Structure 1
Amino acid sequence: MRSVLLSIMLVLAVAPVLGQADDDVATLREQALVAMRRSTAYFTDHVALRGGYVYYYSLDLQTRWGEGRASETQVWVQPPGTPAVGLAYLAAYDATGEQQFLDAATATAQPLLFGQLKSGGWSHAIDFDPKGGRSGDYRNGQGRGKNYSTLDDSTTQTALLFLMRLDQAHQFKQPEIHEAAQFGLEALLKAQFPNGAFPQVWAGPVADQPVLPAAYPKYDWKTEHRIKEYWNLYTLNDDLAGDITPTLLAAAEIYNDERPRTALRKLGDFLILAQMPEPQPAWAQQYNYDMHPCWARKFEPPAITGHESQDAIRTLMAVYRLTGDEKYLRPIPAALKYLRSCELSDGQLARFYELRTNRPLYMTKDYQLTYDDASVPTHYGWKQRHQLDKLEQEYKLMQAGESTHKPRSIRSLSADARKILRELDDQGRWVSVVSGGRVTGQPKFGDVREYLSSEDFSENLTRLAEFVAASQ
């Protein structure tokens, strides 16, 4: 999903590099525009529920899935749900200036306005039924659930990013959208701890805690097990740092506000503090207020994490791009060297490495710690491909003062556009096929073999917008 959001952010920055006949590009551009209009019309007219979206739909639109089956009154905030689709509409509007796409984006904001919590952010889903299973303590008084704004899986980050971009597209002249974006931004800034960390969840401004460097726990962490309300602690799990970065950058740019820039610098300061000492100079998923790696869910032990450590490195480089301060690059060489030493025999990284011993750490199906990955729970990514080569290259470019972003050529963008156009059916749909692999939310499709995907729609619309912007 991050690749989709990054593409959306880059639409206006695409530089055309002409290498084909202008007539061919012009013809393809017109075809792309027609496809963008048709697919948007289908999604807004037939798929949306009060402007909102879930992850997947049966082709007859009678069955809807978010993380599990969605009721007829529920839409999803967590990407690739409602705000991710809204950002794709904005990418199309930015590339074309056509009112249809701005209207689609504005309609997509309506469920987010309805479902904004009193704490300022959003939960994973919105339920229009006050008695529904996913109802929340909404600002509008039409819900009676919990008041937990979440940064898990880029939920509040993406909702706020979308509303701020939409506020900008309307030139700040839509009071309801502007007020919701400002309220959400204020709440997000107040959810940052003095050391720069963010919790996974908040219900109000966070309490002050001492600013300390990371350290190994001096107690037997294996006997501690899951911590109650771990979501209140310092969190890096599921790329929280990397997901919040574009939201803070956008807030600073859109509103010419120095506070989000300061918040991002503070986040970088936290990552410096949170880097573990030798012999494991990387990061954990979660830290307690004493800055010890700690338990979260029952399958997330205190450990060094291969995945989130890479996100920490990416975030430090983003903070360096913002500030030019070399201190944000200093933790990176030791972290990269350490992570290289952690590669498994199959070239992957384990999600967890045991504190001090550095042995890859897993869980059995009944959630007991083990060093054996032969029989692990299938709902979690215990081993993953890494991006160390890419991170090392980006770090070297930064050291040399060279740009880390290279615009795609018009030839490459055109090839993408042609493929996407071929896959659009006569109803204006991109129909996805069940492949048997793991998909976001892990829906149980049953006998369904074909379905509609909000993620595929957003990605395809954004790629077409990228081509259209580059071919003007």
Structure 2
Amino acid sequence: MISHSWLAAAAALALSSTVAPPALAADAPVAWNAAVLTRAADWYASPDARRIADSVLSHQSREGGWPKNTPLTDPARRGADPGLANTFDNQATTLPMAFLARVTTATGDPAYAAAFQRGLDYTLAAQYPNGGWPQYYPLRGGYHDHVTFNDDAMIRILDLLQDIAAGSEPYGFVDPAQRARAAAAVSRGIDVILESQVRQNGVLTAWCAQHDAVTLAAAWARKFEPPSLSGSESVAIVRFLMSIDNPSPEVVLAIDGALAWFERSAIRDVRLETYTNAEGQPDRRLISAPGADPLWARFYDLKTNSPIFMGRDSVAHDDLADIERERRMGYTYIGTWPSVLLRKR
């Protein structure tokens, strides 16, 4: 029998992911973000929910996807560029599908069920044969075509498909054949996660935020997002692997390797401080703080495991202070992401 120190943490994480947050009051303002999934079950049959669902339908592309960074509570503008849709970035497509599933369950309206099904067909069609998902589909070229863990895009897809495959509420209306398709896609997704995990001298470590769609090598995204080991995106990957019932020995090894890498890669005795610089501008810096809670860099060198701080000039630095202030304030280079996985080990 396998015995691992992370099993208790996995159980706690699974419980926290299945227990719904407190439901919002029926008269609480509605904004298009993850909070639209936290309403009381009967709210999804309300006129307000149906109005929003109709608006969500107006934004669905002919391929079946949805745009990012768009308030789907407002109807699509006439003449809106359909090319802005069709992405999984920033909760696009997965969040609309999860919302429509709740309205479908509450109302039984076939229009919402059909839109959800189109979204599911789109999501399954976007999966690469190796099991990964690009950021955009149809493909656009460039880094958008990489297998995209960045900002947890692929893990959100897998979480959604895993719930659909299980027939968990609110996905009980999905028929068995579609649930089987979702389950097969999740299985392929797990395969590509295991295959893309970076090894250093044969030792399993973590993942890059994006991997080449063919070779699965760590790959560039934007100019300040280099091929590297991710102290951020790797956390959601491990959480997903921990959610798998009866994990295979390969999944167990992947989790153990990543958790050990998080332990080795912690940045200790420093604290991230926001302050006002000599020009009167808000800025960030790392300062000495013995005994402070550990931090992790978003990017680590693939060979040395040294933290990387990179601005728009694509030059790697070992100090946050060496990149431009605009990036220091406009991007998260360092954080506490793995702490939730490690504190219960």
What TM-score comes out, normalization by structure 2 length? 0.75
Match of 1:285 among 188, 209, 215: 209
In 2: Cα distance, 1:203 partner to 1:147 partner: 11
Q: Show the counterpart of 1:166.
A: 103
One-letter code aligned to 2:156: D
Aligned-residue offset at 1:159: 0.9
Match of 1:105 among 32, 49, 55: 49
Cα deviation digits, residues 118-144 of structure 1 (max 9, x gap): 12110112573234xxx232xxxxxxx
In 1: Cα distance, 2:50 partner to 2:150 partner: 31
Q: Show the counterpart of 1:119.
A: 63
Cα deviation digits, residues 247-271 of structure 1 (max 9, x gap): 1133221214211122112211111
In 2: Cα distance, 1:101 partner to 1:375 partner: 53
Q: Show the counterpart of 2:89.
A: 152
1:10 aligned onto 2:22 = no
Cα deviation digits, residues 334-379 of structure 1 (max 9, x gap): 2111121111123100000112122111124654322221143121
Q: Show the counterpart of 1:182.
A: 117
In 1: Cα distance, 2:17 partner to 2:218 partner: 34
SS of residue matched to 2:199:
coil
Match of 1:313 among 238, 241, 244: 238
Match of 2:333 among 372, 382, 401: 382
Aligned-residue offset at 1:317: 1.4
Equivalent residues in 2 for 1:366-377, closer than 5 Å: 366-376=313-323, 377=327
Aligned-residue offset at 1:328: 1.9
One-letter code aligned to 1:130: R
Pairwise CA RMSD of aligned residues?
2.8
Q: Which 10-residue stretch deviates more, 296-305 or 273-282? A: 273-282
In 2: Cα distance, 1:86 partner to 1:106 partner: 12
Cα deviation digits, residues 369-393 of structure 1 (max 9, x gap): 2222114312111001133453573
Equivalent residues in 2 for 1:52-71, closer than 5 Å: 53=31
Contact 2:208–2:228 (Cα < 8 Å) also in 1: yes
Cα deviation digits, residues 213-253 of structure 1 (max 9, x gap): xxxxxxxxxxxxxxx62111111111123322331133221
Aligned-residue offset at 1:284: 0.5
Equivalent residues in 2 for 1:52-451, closer than 5 Å: 53=31, 81=32, 84-89=34-39, 92=40, 94=41, 97=42, 102-124=46-68, 125=70, 128-131=76-79, 135-137=80-82, 146=83, 148-170=85-107, 173-203=108-138, 229-252=142-165, 253=167, 254=171, 255=174, 256=176, 257-279=179-201, 281-288=205-212, 289-318=214-243, 320-321=244-245, 324-345=247-268, 346=270, 347-364=294-311, 366-376=313-323, 377=327, 378-388=329-339, 390-391=341-342, 393=344
Q: Show the counterpart of 2:280.
A: none
In 2: Cα distance, 1:9 partner to 1:110 partner: 28
In 1: Cα distance, 2:44 partner to 2:109 partner: 17
In 2: Cα distance, 1:391 partner to 1:166 partner: 37
Cα distance, 1:148–1:233 mapped onto 2, change above 3 Å: farther
Q: Which 10-residue stretch deviates more, 185-194 or 120-129? A: 120-129
Contact 2:94–2:157 (Cα < 8 Å) also in 1: yes
Contact 2:20–2:38 (Cα < 8 Å) also in 1: no
SS of residue matched to 1:201:
coil
One-letter code aligned to 2:105: Q
**Max radius of gyration: which structure?**
1
Aligned-residue offset at 1:193: 1.1
Cα deviation digits, residues 420-446 of structure 1 (max 9, x gap): xxxxxxxxxxxxxxxxxxxxxxxxxxx
In 2: Cα distance, 1:102 partner to 1:244 partner: 27
Q: Which has the higher contact order (CA 8 A, sep 6+)?
A: 1
Unmatched runs of 5 consecutive residues or more in structure 1? 1-5, 15-31, 45-52, 54-80, 138-145, 207-227, 397-472
In 2: Cα distance, 1:276 partner to 1:298 partner: 21
Q: Count residues with an aligned counterpart.
A: 287
SS of residue matched to 2:216:
coil
One-letter code aligned to 2:197: Q
Contact 2:152–2:233 (Cα < 8 Å) also in 1: yes
Identity %: 28
Contact 1:8–1:88 (Cα < 8 Å) also in 2: no
Contact 1:361–1:370 (Cα < 8 Å) also in 2: yes
Unmatched runs of 5 consecutive residues or more in structure 2? 1-14, 271-293
In 2: Cα distance, 1:168 partner to 1:311 partner: 28
Cα deviation digits, residues 93-123 of structure 1 (max 9, x gap): x2xx4x6863332222111100001121101
In 1: Cα distance, 2:100 partner to 2:198 partner: 36
In 1: Cα distance, 2:128 partner to 2:321 partner: 39
In 2: Cα distance, 1:234 partner to 1:121 partner: 17
Cα distance, 1:391–1:165 mapped onto 2, change above 3 Å: farther
Cα deviation digits, residues 72-112 of structure 1 (max 9, x gap): xxxxxxxxx25x343233xx1x2xx4x68633322221111
Cα distance, 1:297–1:243 mapped onto 2, change above 3 Å: same
Cα distance, 1:187–1:391 mapped onto 2, change above 3 Å: farther
What TM-score comes out, normalization by structure 1 length? 0.56
Q: Which 10-residue stretch deviates more, 119-128 or 268-277? A: 119-128
In 1: Cα distance, 2:319 partner to 2:335 partner: 16
Contact 1:350–1:383 (Cα < 8 Å) also in 2: yes
